[in-house]
Structure 1
Amino acid sequence: MKRKLLFGERMLLGDGTEPFNAVIPFRLRGVFSEEDIQYALSRLQEKHPWLRALIQYDEQNVPWFQIPVLPVSIPVRIIQRQHEEQWQEESKQEWHSAFDYTATPLIRFVWIKGEEVSDMLFVFHHCLCDGGSAMALLYEFLKVLDNPAADIGLENPIFGIQDVVPAHILQNGKKRFKAKAIGRLAALAIKCIPVSKKAIDRQNDYLIHWKLEETTSKQLISLCKSSGVTVNTFLGATVLEAFKKVRGSAAFNKVSCPVDIRRFAPQIKDDHIFAFGLMIVMASNQKISFLDNLRLMQDEVEYKTAKLNPYITMMVMESAHDALKNFTKLLKQGKSSNDCMFSNLGRIQIPDQYQEFSLETIFSPSVIGPLGNTTTMVTSTYRGQMDFSFVGSEGYLPETEALAIRDEIIARIRQQLDYQEAS
């Protein structure tokens, strides 16, 4: 079983010399055996073919997911748990550890083993799956870890663009011509954009993590509902204000926000292993009040989201494989135009109580790679608490400024909640 990598997957894969890894950390209270963990991971590989896949190149040097005759198990690294923040240290180590993807799968597992409490990390190459896929895998892993006989089904995997884009669109002559024309124009434009001779030196990478208290999280959700805006828009606006306050004229007043393709393409199921993302950009009007700006931003977000067309986007990208090298070069060496990537996974609907253990928390995933500005903020809500992972590199955003931005975000959330309470 094999399939060619799509354009976006090839871009994330790169040439294999620079890791582009996502880490999903979580904390369990209970006692486990290595055999139980290995078995649960093997069940994931049984269900999801691409978790068994390696990367192989054909004679044109095009990469393919290919499942070997004798599949390789998901590697497990076990270390003794020494302190509460150890998962952050291990996350950073995993960012920088490249996958030997011609010999091992594009997924591995870290068990920070404690007597009563363990922290565990799923680590994926970002070309394998997105945040939605990762949460589905975590749900299935915990289900089997608790009950080895649990039924998690079998995935009907995606083999290519034909499994995502409906045939009446993919085979439509006008749409195919439009996609190819856009792809050609984009390829030409990318080739003409001037870039630096070398990429910015990232220097040291860092991870800043924090949680909001459950009461604060509930109050924030309530504020957003009463204001007629989503939590995503509220937090995006708050992030923009924090960057402006801390960075001044160096701030871009732009954050890029991933949009789950599953909202628009029902062919992609929640448990599909897939890594294609859609994107919108948020900006704020800094001449009006925060609340007035929120409503304008919400309208803009809804307008931009409604215009997203995953099918045409995929067709455009698949027509531009020959532009991959120039596009990657632009991302690596072009000037940054966004303050950060901001991703809100929303409420994670995974049970916390099991027969044999309890899931104390899921830390928001972190991801870092070589394609330009690494500044990324991921938030999620689990067991009523909002959780934030803020990733960056000194060469793009000094950690001292990132810490100040975190403090500003927390202060501005508190300020808006106090204002609501007072009014």
Structure 2
Amino acid sequence: MKRRLLFGERMLLGDGTEPFNAVIPFRLRGTFRLKEIQQALAQIQNKHPWLRASISHDGKNIPWFNVPENTISIPVRIIARQGEDQWQEESRREWSTIFNYEKLPLIRFVWIKGENVSDMLFAFHHCLCDGGSAMAFLHEFLKVLDNPTADIGVEQPILGIQDVVPPEVLTNRKQKLKAKVIGRLAATAIKCIPVGKKAVERQNDYLIHWKLDKEMSQELISYCKSMEVTVNTFLSAAVLKAFRKVKGEAAFNKVSCPVDIRRFAKQIKDDHIFAFGLMIVVSSNQKMNFTENLHLMQESVERKTAKLNPYITMMVMESAHDALKNFTKLLKHGKSSNDCMFSNLGRIQIPHQYKEFTLDTIFSPSVIGPLGNTTTMVTSTFKGEMDFSFVGSEGYLPYSEALAIRDEVIQTVKQQLDHIAVL
């Protein structure tokens, strides 16, 4: 089984010399044997063909996912557990470790082994899948680790754009022409945008992690409901406010927010291994106070989200493969125009209690790559607690400023909740 990488996947893959890796860490309470872990990994590979895939290039240097007849197991690295925060150090190590994707799968596993508590990490190349897909195979891994006879089904993999875009859209002459024209215009525009000769020097990458406890998390959710805004909008507003407070005039007042394509393209199932994403940009009105901004931003988010069209977006991108090199160069060498990427995975629907072990926590995923500004904040909610991973690089955002931004985000949450409590 094989398929050609889509435009977005090729962009994330690059030329293979620079990692673009995502990491999902989680903590289990229980005792495990390596054989059990390897068996569970083999079972999720049996379900998902692309978890067995390597990448090969054809005569035109186009990359293809290629599933070999003889499965190559997901590599497992084991280290002794020596501290609560060791998973952060190992996350950073996994960010910078290149995948040998011509010979091995685009996924690996780290076991930080303790006596009764283990931290475990799935690390995967971002061209393989997004956070939603990763949460699906994490859930399946835990299910079969607990019960090797559990049925997790078999994925019918996406074999190309034809499995995502309905035929009535994909073969429509008007839509095809529209996609081609937009693709050509975008490719021409990208060529004309001036970029620097050198990419920004990233310097040291870092990870800042924190949680809101159950009580504060629930209060925030209730507050957002009462204000008729989403938690995503509230936190985006808090992030924008924090950047403005810390960076002043140097802040861009822009946050990029990924939107799960599965909301629009129902052909993509929750357990599909797939990396394509949609994006909107959120800004605030700096002449308004925080609560006034919330309603304005919520309206803007809903308006922009309603305009998203995954089918035309994919068709446009697939018509512009010849512009990939210029587009990548623009992302790498162009000036940053947004403060950060902010992604909210929402409530993680994975059980925490199993027969053989307990899932103590899932830490929010982290991801970092070479395509421009690395500053990314990811949040998720598990067992009622909101968890935050804040990733950045000194060359884009100094660590001291990132710490100050974290503190400002936490302070904004507390201030709004205190305000509502007084009322």
Could you tell me which residue of structure 2 aligns to residue 209 of structure 1? Answer: 209
Could you tell me which residue of structure 1 aligns to residue 327 of structure 2? Answer: 327
1:118-133 matches, cutoff 5 A: 118-133=118-133
2: distance between equivalents of 1:103 and 1:310? 32
Deviations, residues 253-293 of structure 1 (Å, cap 9, x unaligned): 00000000000000000000000000000000011121111
* 1:297 and 2:297 aligned: yes
2: distance between equivalents of 1:178 and 1:411? 47
Could you tell me which residue of structure 2 aligns to residue 192 of structure 1? Answer: 192
Could you tell me which residue of structure 2 aligns to residue 97 of structure 1? Answer: 97
Could you tell me which residue of structure 1 aligns to residue 341 of structure 2? Answer: 341
* 1:394 and 2:397 aligned: no
1:46-57 matches, cutoff 5 A: 46-57=46-57
1: distance between equivalents of 2:36 and 2:415? 47
Deviation at 1:96, TM superposition (A): 0.3
- Give, as a single letter, the amino acid of the residue that structure 2 aligns with 1:81: R
Deviations, residues 217-267 of structure 1 (Å, cap 9, x unaligned): 000000000000000000000000000000001100000000000000000
2: distance between equivalents of 1:67 and 1:293? 49
Could you tell me which residue of structure 2 aligns to residue 106 of structure 1? Answer: 106
SS for the counterpart of 1:119 is strand
Could you tell me which residue of structure 1 aligns to residue 260 of structure 2? Answer: 260
Deviation at 1:417, TM superposition (A): 0.3
Could you tell me which residue of structure 1 aligns to residue 150 of structure 2? Answer: 150
2: distance between equivalents of 1:399 and 1:44? 37
- Give, as a single letter, the amino acid of the residue that structure 2 aligns with 1:28: L
2: distance between equivalents of 1:46 and 1:68? 12
Could you tell me which residue of structure 1 aligns to residue 412 of structure 2? Answer: 412
Sequence identity of aligned pairs in percent?
A: 76
What TM-score, normalized by structure 2, do the two folds share?
A: 1.00
2: distance between equivalents of 1:113 and 1:79? 6
- Give, as a single letter, the amino acid of the residue that structure 1 aligns with 2:379: T
SS for the counterpart of 2:268 is coil
Deviation at 1:70, TM superposition (A): 1.5
Deviation at 1:59, TM superposition (A): 0.1
1: distance between equivalents of 2:397 and 2:260? 27
Could you tell me which residue of structure 1 aligns to residue 29 of structure 2? Answer: 29
Q: What is the root-mean-square deviation in Å for CA atoms of aligned residues?
A: 0.3
Deviations, residues 273-330 of structure 1 (Å, cap 9, x unaligned): 0000000000000111211110010000000000000000000000000000000000
2: distance between equivalents of 1:260 and 1:407? 28
2: distance between equivalents of 1:378 and 1:28? 21
Could you tell me which residue of structure 2 aligns to residue 2 of structure 1? Answer: 2
SS for the counterpart of 2:73 is coil
2: distance between equivalents of 1:186 and 1:156? 33
- Give, as a single letter, the amino acid of the residue that structure 1 aligns with 2:102: T
Deviations, residues 14-34 of structure 1 (Å, cap 9, x unaligned): 000000000000000000000
2: distance between equivalents of 1:343 and 1:293? 19
2: distance between equivalents of 1:270 and 1:217? 25
Could you tell me which residue of structure 2 aligns to residue 247 of structure 1? Answer: 247
Deviations, residues 114-145 of structure 1 (Å, cap 9, x unaligned): 00000000001000000100000010000000
Could you tell me which residue of structure 1 aligns to residue 231 of structure 2? Answer: 231
Deviation at 1:69, TM superposition (A): 2.0
Could you tell me which residue of structure 2 aligns to residue 67 of structure 1? Answer: 67
Deviations, residues 349-395 of structure 1 (Å, cap 9, x unaligned): 10000000000000000000000000000000000000000000000
2: distance between equivalents of 1:201 and 1:177? 40
SS for the counterpart of 2:142 is helix
2: distance between equivalents of 1:47 and 1:352? 22
- Give, as a single letter, the amino acid of the residue that structure 1 aligns with 2:79: I
- Give, as a single letter, the amino acid of the residue that structure 2 aligns with 1:329: K
SS for the counterpart of 1:78 is strand
Gaps of 5+ in 1: none
Deviations, residues 386-415 of structure 1 (Å, cap 9, x unaligned): 000000000000000000000010011000
Gaps of 5+ in 2: none
Task: Identify which range, 355-364 or 68-77, moves more after superposition.
Answer: 68-77
* 1:365 and 2:365 aligned: yes
Q: How many residues align?
A: 423
Could you tell me which residue of structure 2 aligns to residue 162 of structure 1? Answer: 162
- Give, as a single letter, the amino acid of the residue that structure 2 aligns with 1:248: G
2: distance between equivalents of 1:203 and 1:399? 11
Could you tell me which residue of structure 1 aligns to residue 272 of structure 2? Answer: 272
Deviations, residues 126-167 of structure 1 (Å, cap 9, x unaligned): 000001000000100000000000000000000000000000
SS for the counterpart of 1:327 is helix
- Give, as a single letter, the amino acid of the residue that structure 2 aligns with 1:160: G
1: distance between equivalents of 2:120 and 2:172? 47
- Give, as a single letter, the amino acid of the residue that structure 2 aligns with 1:287: K
SS for the counterpart of 1:99 is coil
2: distance between equivalents of 1:361 and 1:250? 36
1:305-320 matches, cutoff 5 A: 305-320=305-320
* 1:356 and 2:356 aligned: yes
- Give, as a single letter, the amino acid of the residue that structure 2 aligns with 1:117: V
- Give, as a single letter, the amino acid of the residue that structure 2 aligns with 1:221: I
- Give, as a single letter, the amino acid of the residue that structure 1 aligns with 2:58: D
1: distance between equivalents of 2:198 and 2:40? 44
Deviation at 1:213, TM superposition (A): 0.9
Deviation at 1:71, TM superposition (A): 1.7
- Give, as a single letter, the amino acid of the residue that structure 1 aligns with 2:281: V
Could you tell me which residue of structure 1 aligns to residue 183 of structure 2? Answer: 183
